[in-house]
Amino acid sequence: MREKDSFFDKTKKHLDPGKIKRYAVIAVVAVFVIILASTCWFTIDEQEQGVITTFGQVTGTADAGMHFKLPFGIQKVTPVPVNVFRKIEIGYKSDGQTDVSVDDESKMITGDYNIINIDFFVEYKISDPIKYLYNSLDADMILKNLVQSQLRSVVGSTDVDSALTTGRTEMQIQIQDLVTSELEKYDIGLVLTNISIQDSEPPTDTVTAAFKAVETAKQSAERVINQAEAYQNEKIPAAQAQADKLLQNAEYLKQSRINEAKEAVAMFNAMYSEYKNNPEITRVRMYYEAISEVLPGVKLYIDTSEGGVSKLLPLDSLVSDATAGVVDTSNTTTTKEGE
Share of the chain above pLDDT 90, in %: 34
Decide: helix, strand or coil at residue 50.
Answer: strand
Query: Under a CB-based contact definition with an 8 Å cutoff, are residues 90 and 144 in contact?
Result: yes
* Calpha distance 138→209 (Å, rounded): 42
Query: Under a CB-based contact definition with an 8 Å cutoff, are residues 154 and 175 in contact?
Result: yes
Overall size of the chain counted in residues: 339
Q: How confident is the model at residue 83 (pLDDT cuts 50, 70, 90)?
A: very high
If one counts every other C-beta atom within 10 angstroms of the C-beta of residue 52, the result is: 19
Ramachandran bin of 45, using left for φ above 0, alpha for ψ from -120 to 50, beta for the remaining angles:
beta
157 vs 322, higher pLDDT:
157
For every residue of 164-183, DSSP letters joined together read HTTTHHHHHHHHHHHHHHHH
* Calpha distance 231→110 (Å, rounded): 39
The H-assigned helical ranges of 157-277 are 160-164, 168-186, 205-277
- The span from the first CA to the last CA of the chain, in angstroms, equals 189
Averaged pLDDT for residues 40-61: 90
Nearest to 73 by CA among 30, 42, 98, 45: 42
pLDDT at position 330: 41
* Calpha distance 107→119 (Å, rounded): 9
* Calpha distance 251→245 (Å, rounded): 10
The answer to whether the Cα torsion of 16, 17, 19, 23 is positive or negative is positive
289 vs 248, higher pLDDT:
248
pLDDT at position 323: 46
Averaged pLDDT for residues 42-67: 90
**How do residues 231-270 score in pLDDT, each as one tens digit?**
888 888 888 888 889 999 999 999 999 999 999 888 888 8
Which DSSP state fits 331? T
Compute the CA torsion angle 170, 175, 177, 181 (nearest 10 deg): 160
pLDDT at position 7: 47
49 vs 11, higher pLDDT:
49
User: What are the φ/ψ torsions at residue 327 (nearest 5 degrees)?
Assistant: -115, 125
pLDDT at position 334: 44
Q: In this model, does residue 339 exceed pLDDT 50?
A: no
Query: Under a CB-based contact definition with an 8 Å cutoff, are residues 44 and 64 in contact?
Result: yes
pTM (2 decimals)?
Answer: 0.54
* Calpha distance 206→74 (Å, rounded): 66
Average pLDDT, the chain: 80
Bridge partners of 122?
88, 195
Q: Going by C-beta distance under 8 Å and a sequence separation of 6 or more, which residues neighbour residue 180?
A: 191, 192
222 burial (CB, 10 Å; 0-12 / 13-18 / 19+) is exposed
